[in-house]
Chain A
Amino acid sequence: MNTSFARQRYLMDFTLHSMLRRKGRNLVLFTVCCLVIFILASVMFFGQAIRQEAKTVLADAPEATVQNLVMGRHALINAKWVPVLQNVRGVRHAEGRLWGYYYDTVNGANYTVMVPPSDDTEHRLQPGEVIIGPGIVANRNLIRDKYLFLRANYGEIFRLKVKDRLSSDSALVSADLLLMSEPDFRKFFQLPDDVFTDIGLTIRNAREIPTIIGKIGVRVPGSRVVTRADILRTYQSIFSWREGLLLALLGASIVAFVIFAFDKAAGLSGEERREIGILKAIGWETSDVLAMKFWEGALVSAGAFLLGLVLAYGHVFFFQAGLLEQVLKGWAVIYPDFHLKPHIEVLQVVTLAFFTVVPYTAATIIPIWRAAVTDPDAVMR
């Protein structure tokens, strides 16, 4: 056992020396490897961070939302259903929600207008006041206590005082959010007092959701229930799909990288060939040379992997993934400007290794083998 470890140590030592003697080639290989990993890792970290963000943000959403359907489309729901839903066993609290979209002709942006829930003391509003999201602040150049002018569809212009602005932390969903008081909302959208956009339900036990949905289907005809889990799933799928698409496109770069690796590993210089011949002649076996070459590959790919990972981490979490934003966040006039919380998962890192280290190793096996089986008598011919 001792000799086996000692042997590996000698081989590794020789490998390091050998690599240092061929700095140029190894540096190129290392750099290309690192670059590919950097790009892929950035995409993965970004996607994961956004998915995580969605999860955190949605944590406060109601477990289920009941919507009214008319001819298959979402319509306003009557307030009379609120007490009915409150009485369904398992529903802790039912509350009507008011929200909708407003198209701002001034800058062509869509705002989500919403009345804060009754238990949201932080964002309580008086008529004439609004709280706006960071995207609107930037877009309309507003600061606290300035006024926002909105034109309702029926013509009247609303002069609303900006009471506060939503923090950037939740910017993923709040970028274009506009909070308004209930009276203002109803007046703005010309809604009577007995309707809501939908009804949010707080449910005690997640396992009871399917049963509750069944009951609602009976008691509130023509309704549809959307659960928080549904929304989460959709978010996860969308971001995951985009990420996967991008990675598939980057597949071309992976292929190019693999060919490059094969070429570099196969392209042994005359000097290198001679050296291996000498080693074989003086008593190194094929397995010794194989071990040596694989150490070489491992050092390059492991080193490049780690460095690429670290750089990608910095890129995504300190520099907001500037290079990737456009593709991954989706098209919109308003871009959220928020800091992604650093979040890495082992699954991600392993997947990344599968996309990079595995093809690289596979590509170098044959060239390495070819070098290692050099005939020992080659140096004498």
Chain B
Amino acid sequence: MIELDNVSKVYNEGRANEVFALRDITLQIRADQTTVLKGPSGSGKTTLLTLIGCLSRPTVGRIHLEGKMVSGLPEKFMTEIRREKFGFVFQRFNLVRGLTVLENVMLPAYPLGLKYSTLRDNAERLLGDVEIADKAGMKVENLSGGEAQRVAIARALINNPDYVIADEPTANLDTRLVGEFLKIVEKLRTEGKSVIITSHDPRIWQADVVDRVIGMEDGRVIEDGIAAT
């Protein structure tokens, strides 16, 4: 479980272009659930995502992960926790160009210094799970949108995280692929992982697999409910 307690985030603090991205958020994200954050752009949902996923520190307030406080940690410790507990799928997939599919999937594990063969086997297995194993040796520039997303998902799973975070995962995909994506989310759920998604897309909020929808506006939570089935 992730607990946010009176959390605020300010960018460019103290300067002329100061921005309050989040104001006084108190929230709990349960494990084993699929949660969607919805809201217009500028509502702060992406910022909330970065705080939940230990990608940045709140300006004020505390965040606890499974009972341990993570909000005041120095970068090194935060990164360790993030690496272990979270997997990220970005809106633009953010695969490293020039590397192959397999290398991209293994990348998050490099700093751990694992044995190469173990790492490679894990990566290949994950690529198989998302049904893209045949493209393992291909350079990522040559992938289609849907393929790139699957690689991004495999990469997010390489360190076997408990929480998977996806930022606007279907923004660049067509309908057929939205269905594919939701199938993968279902699969992750059965494995006991928590999935947290931000999305504009009603097809996502209204999907069966979603347990909870949180609506945001202007840096605040305006709606928090169990998804209608």
Interface residues of A (CB under 8 A from B): 2-7, 10-11, 14, 17-18, 21, 271, 274-275, 278-288, 375-377, 379-381
B 62-116 contacts with A by CB, 8 A: 75-76, 79-80, 82-83, 88, 90-91, 94-99, 107-116
**Contact, CB under 8 Å: A285 / B110:** no
CB < 8 Å neighbour of B159 from A2, A283, A380: A283
Complex CA–CA separation, A279 to B49 (angstroms) = 18
- Besides A275-B96, A279-B96, A281-B94, 6 more A-B contacts (Cβ < 8 Å) are A3-B112, A14-B107, A14-B110, A285-B80, A376-B55, A380-B49
CB distance from A167 to the nearest CB of B (A): 60
Grouping DSSP codes into helix (H, G, I), strand (E, B) and loop, the A interface class, with mixed when no group exceeds half, is: helix
**Contact, CB under 8 Å: A6 / B114:** yes
Complex CA–CA separation, A26 to B113 (angstroms) = 27
CB distance from B149 to the nearest CB of A (A): 15
Complex CA–CA separation, A296 to B111 (angstroms) = 17
**Contact, CB under 8 Å: A7 / B110:** yes
Contacts of B94 on A, CB cut-off 8 Å? 274, 278, 281, 379
**Contact, CB under 8 Å: B56 / A11:** no
**Contact, CB under 8 Å: A380 / B50:** yes
Contacts of A376 on B, CB cut-off 8 Å? 55-56, 79, 82
**Contact, CB under 8 Å: B76 / A21:** no
Complex CA–CA separation, A21 to B99 (angstroms) = 9
CB < 8 Å neighbour of B107 from A5, A21, A271, A279: A279
CB distance from B18 to the nearest CB of A (A): 15
In the complex with contacts A10-B113, A288-B111, A282-B79 CB distance below 8 A: no
Contacts of A286 on B, CB cut-off 8 Å? 75-76
19 A-B residue pairings within 8 Å (CB atoms): A3-B113, A7-B111, A10-B110, A11-B110, A17-B99, A21-B97, A275-B96, A278-B94, A278-B95, A280-B79, A282-B107, A283-B82, A284-B108, A285-B75, A285-B80, A286-B76, A376-B56, A380-B46, A380-B55
**A-B interface, 10 closest residue pairs, ranked by CB to CB distance from nearest:** A3-B113, A7-B113, A6-B113, A283-B83, A10-B110, A377-B50, A282-B108, A377-B55, A21-B98, A283-B108
Interface residues of B (CB under 8 A from A): 46, 49-50, 55-56, 75-76, 79-80, 82-83, 88, 90-91, 94-99, 107-116, 155, 159, 167
Complex CA–CA separation, A286 to B78 (angstroms) = 11
In the complex with contacts A275-B96, A377-B50, A284-B111 CB distance below 8 A: yes
Complex CA–CA separation, A381 to B111 (angstroms) = 25
Among B49, B56, B167: residue with most chain A CB under 10 A: B56
**Contact, CB under 8 Å: A281 / B111:** no
**Contact, CB under 8 Å: A2 / B82:** no
Return the chain A residue nearest B50 by Cβ: A377
Contacts of B111 on A, CB cut-off 8 Å? 7, 10-11, 283-285, 288
Return the chain A residue nearest B92 by Cβ: A379
Contacts of B115 on A, CB cut-off 8 Å? 6
Complex CA–CA separation, A379 to B96 (angstroms) = 12
**Contact, CB under 8 Å: A278 / B76:** no
Complex CA–CA separation, A2 to B42 (angstroms) = 46
Contacts of B49 on A, CB cut-off 8 Å? 380
Among A4, A21, A283, A287: residue with most chain B CB under 10 A: A283
CB distance from B151 to the nearest CB of A (A): 12
Contacts of A17 on B, CB cut-off 8 Å? 98-99
Contacts of A6 on B, CB cut-off 8 Å? 113-116
**Contact, CB under 8 Å: B76 / A287:** yes
Return the chain B residue nearest A14 by Cβ: B110
Complex CA–CA separation, A278 to B95 (angstroms) = 8
**Contact, CB under 8 Å: A284 / B110:** yes
Contacts of A377 on B, CB cut-off 8 Å? 50, 55-56
CB distance from B22 to the nearest CB of A (A): 13
CB distance from B160 to the nearest CB of A (A): 13
Complex CA–CA separation, A282 to B158 (angstroms) = 10
Complex CA–CA separation, A271 to B141 (angstroms) = 14
Return the chain A residue nearest B109 by Cβ: A283
Complex CA–CA separation, A376 to B88 (angstroms) = 12
In the complex with contacts A281-B55, A283-B159, A285-B76, A380-B90 CB distance below 8 A: yes
Complex CA–CA separation, A279 to B76 (angstroms) = 14
Return the chain B residue nearest A291 by Cβ: B111
Complex CA–CA separation, A2 to B50 (angstroms) = 32
Contacts of B114 on A, CB cut-off 8 Å? 3, 6
Contacts of B82 on A, CB cut-off 8 Å? 283, 376
Contacts of A18 on B, CB cut-off 8 Å? 98
Contacts of B88 on A, CB cut-off 8 Å? 281-282
Complex CA–CA separation, A379 to B49 (angstroms) = 13
Complex CA–CA separation, A278 to B94 (angstroms) = 7
**Contact, CB under 8 Å: A282 / B155:** yes
